[in-house]
Structure 1
Amino acid sequence: MVTNDLPVAPTLPAAHGPIRGRLILLGPAFVAAVAYVDPGNFATNSTAGARYGYLLVWVVVAANLSAMLVQTLTAKLGLATGRSLPELCREHLPRPLNRLMWAQAELVAMATDLAEVIGGAVALRLLFGVPLLPGGLIVGAAAFAVLALRARGFRTFEIAITVLLGVIVLAFAVNLLTARPDLSAAAGGLLPRTAGTDSMLLAAGILGATVMPHVIYVHSALTPNRIPTSGEAERRVVAKGLRVDVLIALGVAGAVNLAMLLVAAASFHGSGIPGTDTLEGVHAGLAGTLGTVAAVGFAVALLLSGLASTSVGTYAGEVIMQGFLRRRIPLVARRTVTLLPALAVLAVGVDPTRALVLSQVVLSFGIPFALVPVVTFTRRRDLMGSLVNRRATTVAAVAVTGLVVALNAFLLRQLLA
């Protein structure tokens, strides 16, 4: 069980003053948010903008709104039950189903690590000319330094992740102002439409890169017992603070995702610049169209994204195994196992951007396995108490889950045809 190292009083947030009392409720969603701007997002959003211009703006916006709903339910689930989603699955699901849930969650964690390590390796090559395979090893090893901050208390880890997220935000804010996208065309992109199977596949990748299954498990483990409460009134105060945490953190992540697509659309769509549907091509294209500062900012943001998100991904693996199986393995062993697929992809020379996009499609197939239990548990009054879902919330969550399942079924049919 994850706890927070903050010295808190029984009554919150009033016991700490109007400002500090609210600030101490922030943090878990920012750890989750960094996974929403991981290298997979760089690949899918940049590819979408370069290939289709502003066509898929609606997908980014819809995915982020869905993520806000999902992460709010996830945070509330941990607060109300005092347990993570994997722990609840172990307690309430039949053993064979629980084992199946664990197996797919581990595959999701590996697909996540694939995107994060590859993205970081590409960034090192763009910045310093480091070959991809050694770059992957460097990113994998560097994640331990970020994870080591947890030994100083989880608040330190949250702050470090938030700082990395802030640098990513700054880089894309500068690039967005420089690119000057067509705002009217971007607004037109809010109308839901696609341009064939390829755009649908990319839309699924955007969804998989935004509504991340592994971070659903992580977020549910960050909120139990974070702040001691005595009674339903205090629990509702903390729940409100967690909702604000989600809105701010995922609002920031959503803005970054949208900026990725808008910069690529404004800079590359219809320009005839070759290779701008790859990370390397985006970097080179930004250097040519917006200047060296924009290209370096993109690469630095990509590197920090890979480093931060792979740290969160490794922590997700711990939460998954501990929750579903009530077992732990040494961190070095877990890191090695999840790192191997990414290193294998880098070693055989698979196109990094293509591997990133496909990894996000894999993640989109893992979303229902996390969403269905979250919706099921949060609608149960015996588990949630006064924090049980309202009917409208459950309806919205079921609609999101149904949309994801329908989209994945369509894609599976297309891929097997």
Structure 2
Amino acid sequence: MAEPGDTGRDAPADRPAAPPGGWDGGVPVPPSVAAETPRPAPVQGSFLGYVKSFGPGIVMALSWVGTGDLIDNSVAGGNYGYALLWVLPLTLVFRFIFVNNLGKYPLYNLQRDPSIVRGFARTHPIFGWVMLVSFVVYTHILMAFTLSGVGVALHGLFGVLSPFVWTLVGAASVFVVTFKGTYLLIEQIFKVVLAVMVGSFVVGIVMVGINWAEFLRGFAFELPPQEGIFDSGLVASSLVLATLGSMANLFYPQFLHEKGWTTPAHRRVQRYDLLFGIAVVFFLAVAVWAIGAEVLHGKSGVETADDIAGALGVAIGPAGPYIFYLGLLGAAWTTVASSIFALSKMSVEALHVVRPARAARTGGEASRDGFYTLMVCWGLLAVVWSLPGAPGFVVLVVISHVLTSPFLLMIVIGMVFMMNRRAIMGDHVNTWKDNLGLGLIAVFVAAAAVQGLGKAVGMLG
């Protein structure tokens, strides 16, 4: 069902057309934005074809499996063994429901929006400003510990230079890759990085071994007494928020748009793609958790990344630290690159929503707007958090996920309204099952945020 005023110009046969300009729900839609909507990618006709075309799920998975997941899972495994393992599958189910719902937007929205940011703004114009401010703040918070992870990993692998200098090297490499805003290059690099990460962690697991009896008992919903410097409730809360992905969940619709999966015909490959990404996240998370549980549990606790690498070296020999640091480098670098790319583009889109004349001047192309480059630089300036005297890397990871929880809660609530508006989604508004899933996620995140914030404030005090 098309909106009033649809012209049908350049509209694919399998989806409704949208007006090339004008206003919708109080949100300006410049003609240049419609003109910049990419041509839909070819739809594969077989499962093998789907597998060959996978991309957004891989980029998304490596955006999620960043330093937060790596360190949170190592902390949980090292301090509590397998006792908190039940958090992983639970939150991944919620994550699939949440992100699969987000994936509907670029496929079904009536306006053929180039970004889900416009969908939130159509729900209420204030979301344009809220999203712009949130993206700017979140970009720096996220980079504060992920860039630090790049420096820690490179220093662990090569030594010689200080971690801060290695962080600068890592930031420079990310700038080169993301400066022109080319998605295809990022996808190709990430596929190679994924292969390296899987290989390194498989070797680590084989060398360490798994206590399968303890592993299975990890799904018993236990919340053990505190071990080490982190309370189990804080660790569980951080795991929930890190695994659900916070604002990083919004990256997936952006990657679908960049890939050209923008019609209802892409829904099936999109689901397979996301399921593959979830499987990647689960495998890497369990691998890191198992390594932490087998080599760190029962010791003095995890306080730095070197604690993890050192214990792994004692357990399996000289190769141990290299396995850990190689995995950390892959997780940290891919998170920095994909997050800078997506957040910078979405920030430009939010700016274009609140300043439509700017979109007209730049042709609606995010990477042509100087604000894109400014956002890339703003994110990479978070290297200052790697200077000597800055908060510890592990502390930054655990606390940052908890402190960004209000952003995630805001997204879930806004998404419920957005996905239930027929003026935006037409006949593809959410079903009661979709809304039930989002409602459960909102309650789950709110509870984790309240508990985590209280404990984080106690730690900082």
Q: Indicate the residue corresponding to 1:317 in structure 2.
A: 343
- Pairwise CA RMSD of aligned residues? 2.5
Q: After superposition, what is the alpha-carbon deviation per residue over 1:109-146, rounded to whole angstroms, capped at 9, x for unaligned?
A: 22211221011111011112231211221111111233
TM-score (norm 1): 0.88
One of 245, 251, 256 as aligned partner of 1:218: 251
Q: After superposition, what is the alpha-carbon deviation per residue over 1:12-35, rounded to whole angstroms, capped at 9, x for unaligned?
A: 333xxx356424652112111111
Q: 1:3 to 1:283 in 2, by over 3 A?
A: farther
Matched residues, percent identical?
21
Q: Indicate the residue corresponding to 2:311 in structure 1.
A: 285
- Whether the aligned pair in 2 keeps the contact of 1:90 and 1:323 (CA below 8 Å) is no
Which deviates more from structure 2 when the two are superposed, residues 379-388 or residues 348-357? 379-388
- Whether the aligned pair in 1 keeps the contact of 2:147 and 2:382 (CA below 8 Å) is no
- Whether the aligned pair in 2 keeps the contact of 1:218 and 1:315 (CA below 8 Å) is no
Q: 1:238 to 1:178 in 2, by over 3 A?
A: same
Q: 1:177 to 1:364 in 2, by over 3 A?
A: farther
Q: Indicate the residue corresponding to 1:43 in structure 2.
A: 71
Residue 223 of structure 1 aligns to a residue whose secondary structure is: helix
Please give the alpha-carbon distance, in whole angstroms, between the structure 1 residues aligned to 2:37 and 2:191.
Answer: 18
Q: After superposition, what is the alpha-carbon deviation per residue over 1:334-365, rounded to whole angstroms, capped at 9, x for unaligned?
A: 23322333423434242222112222222333
Deviation at 1:413, TM superposition (A): 3.6
Q: Indicate the residue corresponding to 2:107 in structure 1.
A: 79
- Whether the aligned pair in 2 keeps the contact of 1:41 and 1:209 (CA below 8 Å) is yes
- Whether the aligned pair in 2 keeps the contact of 1:346 and 1:352 (CA below 8 Å) is no
Q: Is 2:67 the partner of 1:26? A: no
Letter of the 2:192 partner, please give it.
V
Deviation at 1:5, TM superposition (A): 7.9
- Structure 2: unaligned runs, 5 residues or longer: 1-32, 353-357, 359-368
Q: 1:277 to 1:413 in 2, by over 3 A?
A: closer
Q: After superposition, what is the alpha-carbon deviation per residue over 1:82-133, rounded to whole angstroms, capped at 9, x for unaligned?
A: 33221222233133x5323332232222221122101111101111223121
Letter of the 1:186 partner, please give it.
F
Residue 191 of structure 1 aligns to a residue whose secondary structure is: coil
Q: Indicate the residue corresponding to 1:374 in structure 2.
A: 415
Q: Is 2:296 the partner of 1:268? A: yes
Larger radius of gyration: 2
Residue 370 of structure 2 aligns to a residue whose secondary structure is: coil
Q: Is 2:96 the partner of 1:68? A: yes
Please give the alpha-carbon distance, in whole angstroms, between the structure 1 residues aligned to 2:237 and 2:51.
Answer: 35
Q: Indicate the residue corresponding to 1:364 in structure 2.
A: 405
Q: 1:411 to 1:157 in 2, by over 3 A?
A: closer
Letter of the 1:43 partner, please give it.
I
How many positions carry a matched residue from both structures?
A: 401
Q: Indicate the residue corresponding to 2:242 in structure 1.
A: 209
Which deviates more from structure 2 when the two are superposed, residues 188-197 or residues 352-361? 188-197
Higher helix share: 1
Q: Indicate the residue corresponding to 2:378 in structure 1.
A: 337
Q: Is 2:119 the partner of 1:119? A: no
TM-score (norm 2): 0.80
Q: 1:35 to 1:226 in 2, by over 3 A?
A: closer
Q: 1:133 to 1:331 in 2, by over 3 A?
A: farther
- Structure 1: unaligned runs, 5 residues or longer: 230-234
Greater relative contact order (Cα < 8 A, sep 6+): 1
One of 179, 189, 194 as aligned partner of 1:160: 189
Q: 1:160 to 1:108 in 2, by over 3 A?
A: same
Q: 1:225 to 1:169 in 2, by over 3 A?
A: closer
Q: Indicate the residue corresponding to 1:107 in structure 2.
A: 137
Letter of the 2:154 partner, please give it.
L
Letter of the 2:316 partner, please give it.
L
- Whether the aligned pair in 1 keeps the contact of 2:296 and 2:311 (CA below 8 Å) is yes
Q: 1:258 to 1:3 in 2, by over 3 A?
A: farther
Q: Indicate the residue corresponding to 2:441 in structure 1.
A: 400
Q: After superposition, what is the alpha-carbon deviation per residue over 1:182-221, rounded to whole angstroms, capped at 9, x for unaligned?
A: 1221221112232358111111221222222332222122
Q: Indicate the residue corresponding to 1:128 in structure 2.
A: 158
Which deviates more from structure 2 when the two are superposed, residues 76-85 or residues 26-35? 76-85
Residue 223 of structure 2 aligns to a residue whose secondary structure is: coil
Please give the alpha-carbon distance, in whole angstroms, between the structure 2 residues aligned to 1:295 and 1:416.
Answer: 33
Please give the alpha-carbon distance, in whole angstroms, between the structure 2 residues aligned to 1:336 and 1:150.
Answer: 13
Please give the alpha-carbon distance, in whole angstroms, between the structure 2 residues aligned to 1:33 and 1:220.
Answer: 13
Q: After superposition, what is the alpha-carbon deviation per residue over 1:356-393, rounded to whole angstroms, capped at 9, x for unaligned?
A: 22222223332112222233322334422344333212
Deviation at 1:316, TM superposition (A): 2.4
Which deviates more from structure 2 when the two are superposed, residues 161-170 or residues 133-142? 161-170
